[in-house]
Amino acid sequence: MAASEAVTDALRELHARYAGVRGGRRADYIPQLARSDPDAFGIALVSMDGHCYSAGAADAAFTLQSVSKPFVYALALSTLGLDEVSRWVGAEPSGEAFNAISLEPRTGRPANAMVNAGAIVTTALVPDRAAVPAFTAVLSCLSRFAGRRLDVDEDVYRSEASTGDRNRALAYLLRSTGTLPVDPVAAVDTYFRQCAVRATAVDLAVMAATLAHGGVNPVTGETVVSTEVAAQVLSVMATCGMYDASGEWLLRVGLPAKSGVSGGLIAAGPARFGLATYSTPLDAAGTSVRGSAAIGALSERLGLHLMRNPALPGSTVTLVTTADVLPSAPSGRRERALRERVGVVAAQGALDCTAAERVLYALDETGPERAGAVVLDLREVTGADSVALALLHAGLARLAQDGRRAAVVDPGDRLGPPDLVRERTGQDLPRFGSREEAVERCAQAVAGPG
Ligand code: GLU
């Protein structure tokens, strides 16, 4: 492992740059949290291939606190579905502090699952059965996200349970408005236990990476939640994860994130990475001062802002031309003239809907001429999702309606099984193993009989 050490070096450099930042205060309303080491600072990053990089105190254990909320929200969504969960808890930023006593005027629902009121309701939605008590389900879910068995810090749990009157008051208020489905004492107890689950920055980065990876833990390979649920959770993290600093965070850092009063902070780059930091001094919004500085700097330096499109335009289509200019073209005048009427488009990589649009546009660019032909070379395409396939099939059908012949170079059947292609494109699309064969056949077809 030498080359990838460069990633660790980048994290070490970030760690060194922000380790000296002072500012912020440790949370002390949960007395046990005030005993944490204010100098401990860890950063961890996990890629979509499950590669893990870290710097500083990334193996120091601390309690999840509010970082647990998105994962328990994921559990509730997986168990009950978005519509049922939304009957109990909303998805609007509250613009208020984590422990605000504010419920939606008409329904009495908490604003979202990231503020305490919403998180208490979310936890209460997890079924509590004799065979699988609610907290057992919560701990097992958090552990699957982390890819290892997590446990509870009993001291922090007791410390919060003995001082958590505000959360208890919130639970009673919710119960009085009919928006808490279970007994308030039980709901808050499970919630306090969930907040006291212990993990490291590395665990948190794996958990964030699992959300970024469509619900599949990239280290263990286990499907923890569905792709839909992962996207739903990331959406609420993006708009509500940083409490009353959520808008500013999305504007400047541009990543779904969640902070916790114990100093943990996670951020997810969808389909790219999971990131976590640990440092206990907090700013006024309850976010780790060093953590937010480090993640903010990383996002800026590496261009990770969600609203900056990471897809490189033009990287799908590698060739748009006519067959007469290919190096393999024969020199005869007549052959060249025929080949001028045969377009050639080559594509590469994984095709999604935006990539498919580029391919279709390129097919048009090779010539609108009726009675002409076009060869679509898909040999370098590694895959196509169902949306891309539907779009390509529909585009090829339109081409045929316009009187242009098409042939594909598709030895890997990237375009789907021939029956499906026939049904969707309304034709028996000729398929070839090599570009030259396809061009030759198209040139003959363009020449017509004789
Ligand atoms: N257990 C904490 C509470 O409910 C979590 C708050 C947070 O981490 O923001 O007060």
- CATH (domain of 348): 3.30.750.24
Distance 262 CA to ligand 1 centre (A): 8
- Same structural domain for residues 273 and 323? no
Q: Is residue 311 part of a domain?
A: no
Nearest to 367 by CA among 442, 449, 448, 444: 442
Boundaries of domain holding 414: 317-447
The catalytic position among 159, 191, 262, 317 is 191
- Tokens at residue 120, please? 């208490």
Nearest atom in ligand 1 to the alpha carbon of residue 160 is 1
**Residue 191 annotated in active site:** yes
Start-to-end Cα distance in the chain: 64
Nearest to 124 by CA among 65, 59, 79: 79
Which residues are bridge partners to 342 per DSSP?
A: 373
- Same structural domain for residues 246 and 339? no
- Same structural domain for residues 95 and 182? yes
- Rounded CA separation 318/267 (Å): 34
**pLDDT tens over the chain, length 450 residues:** 578 888 899 999 999 999 999 999 999 999 999 999 999 999 999 999 999 999 999 999 999 999 999 999 999 999 999 999 999 999 999 888 888 887 888 888 999 999 999 999 999 999 999 999 999 999 999 999 999 999 999 999 999 999 999 999 999 999 999 889 899 999 999 999 999 999 999 999 999 999 999 999 999 999 999 999 999 999 999 999 999 999 999 999 999 999 999 999 999 999 999 999 999 999 999 999 999 999 999 999 888 999 986 656 668 999 999 999 999 888 889 989 999 999 999 999 999 988 999 999 999 998 766 679 999 999 999 999 999 999 999 999 999 888 899 999 999 999 999 999 999 999 899 999 999 999 999 999 998 875
- Rounded CA separation 409/424 (Å): 18
- Ordered alpha helix ranges (H), 64-133: 69-80, 82-88, 116-125
273 with 48: CB under 8 angstroms? yes
| Protein residue closest via CA to atom 6 of ligand 1 | 66
Nearest atom in ligand 1 to the alpha carbon of residue 99 is 10
- Rounded CA separation 89/401 (Å): 50
Q: Is the pTM of this model over 0.75?
A: yes
Nearest to 215 by CA among 231, 197, 204, 198: 231
Q: Is residue 48 part of a domain?
A: yes
- Tokens at residue 336, please? 């060249």
Distance 309 CA to ligand 1 centre (A): 34
Quote the pLDDT of residue 330.
86
Nearest to 391 by CA among 362, 360, 414: 360
- Same structural domain for residues 74 and 46? yes
3-state secondary structure of 164: coil
Tally the C-alpha atoms within 13 A of residue 116's C-alpha that lie toward its C-beta: 24
- Same structural domain for residues 294 and 329? no
224 with 141: CB under 8 angstroms? yes
| Residue to mutate (ligand 1; options 62, 69, 116; most atoms within 8 A of CB) | 116
Distance 304 CA to ligand 1 centre (A): 28
Quote the pLDDT of residue 1.
54
Quote the pLDDT of residue 27.
95
- Same structural domain for residues 40 and 124? yes
294 with 264: CB under 8 angstroms? no
| Residue to mutate (ligand 1; options 30, 96, 99; most atoms within 8 A of CB) | 99
Distance 198 CA to ligand 1 centre (A): 14
Distance 287 CA to ligand 1 centre (A): 11
| Residue to mutate (ligand 1; options 71, 195, 242, 266; most atoms within 8 A of CB) | 195
Nearest atom in ligand 1 to the alpha carbon of residue 66 is 8
Neighbours of 228 (CB within 10 A): 14
Q: What does the CA dihedral 276, 282, 283, 286 come to, rounded to 10 degrees? A: 80
How far does Cα 166 stand from its chain's mean position?
Answer: 33
Nearest atom in ligand 1 to the alpha carbon of residue 286 is 9
- Same structural domain for residues 287 and 188? yes
Distance 403 CA to ligand 1 centre (A): 65
Quote the pLDDT of residue 298.
94
CATH number for position 282: 3.40.710.10
Q: Is residue 401 part of a domain?
A: yes
**Residue 66 annotated in active site:** yes
Quote the pLDDT of residue 194.
98
- Same structural domain for residues 267 and 402? no
The catalytic position among 54, 66, 78, 159 is 66
Nearest atom in ligand 1 to the alpha carbon of residue 167 is 4
Distance 46 CA to ligand 1 centre (A): 25
User: Running DSSP on this structure, what letter comes out for residue 103?
Assistant: B
| Protein residue closest via CA to atom 1 of ligand 1 | 65
Q: Is residue 357 part of a domain?
A: yes
Angle between helices 5-19 and 289-302 (to 10 degrees): 130
Which of 254, 269, 302 corresponds to the end of one domain? 302
- Same structural domain for residues 153 and 242? yes
User: Running DSSP on this structure, what letter comes out for residue 132?
Assistant: S
**b/e per residue, 371-403, with b = 16+ CB within 10 A?**
ebbbbbbbbebeebeeebbebbbebbbebeeee
**Total domains in the fold of the chain:** 2
| Residue to mutate (ligand 1; options 29, 261, 266, 288; most atoms within 8 A of CB) | 261
Q: Is residue 137 part of a domain?
A: yes
3-state secondary structure of 200: coil
- Tokens at residue 420, please? 């499906």
Q: Is residue 310 part of a domain?
A: no
CB neighbours of 423 closer than 8 A, spacing ≥ 6? none
- Rounded CA separation 269/255 (Å): 6
Annotated binding-site residues for substrate read 66, 116, 160, 167, 191, 243, 261
Q: Is residue 384 part of a domain?
A: yes
- Same structural domain for residues 371 and 244? no
- Rounded CA separation 4/19 (Å): 23
3-state secondary structure of 157: helix
Quote the pLDDT of residue 102.
78
- Rounded CA separation 126/89 (Å): 13
DSSP 17-78: HHHT----B---SSGGGGGS-TT--EEEEEETT--EEEEESTT--EE-GGGGHHHHHHHHHH
- Rounded CA separation 438/407 (Å): 6
- Same structural domain for residues 182 and 323? no
Q: Which residues surround ligand 1 with Cβ inside 6 Å?
A: 65-66, 98-99, 116, 160, 167, 195, 260-261, 286
Which of 246, 279, 302 corresponds to the end of one domain? 302
Q: Is residue 312 part of a domain?
A: no
Nearest atom in ligand 1 to the alpha carbon of residue 29 is 10
- Same structural domain for residues 285 and 330? no
**b/e per residue, 117-141, with b = 16+ CB within 10 A?**
bbbbbbbbbbebeeeeebbebbbeb
Which of 260, 275, 302 corresponds to the end of one domain? 302
Annotated binding-site residues read 66, 116, 160, 167, 191, 243, 261
**Residue 258 annotated in active site:** no
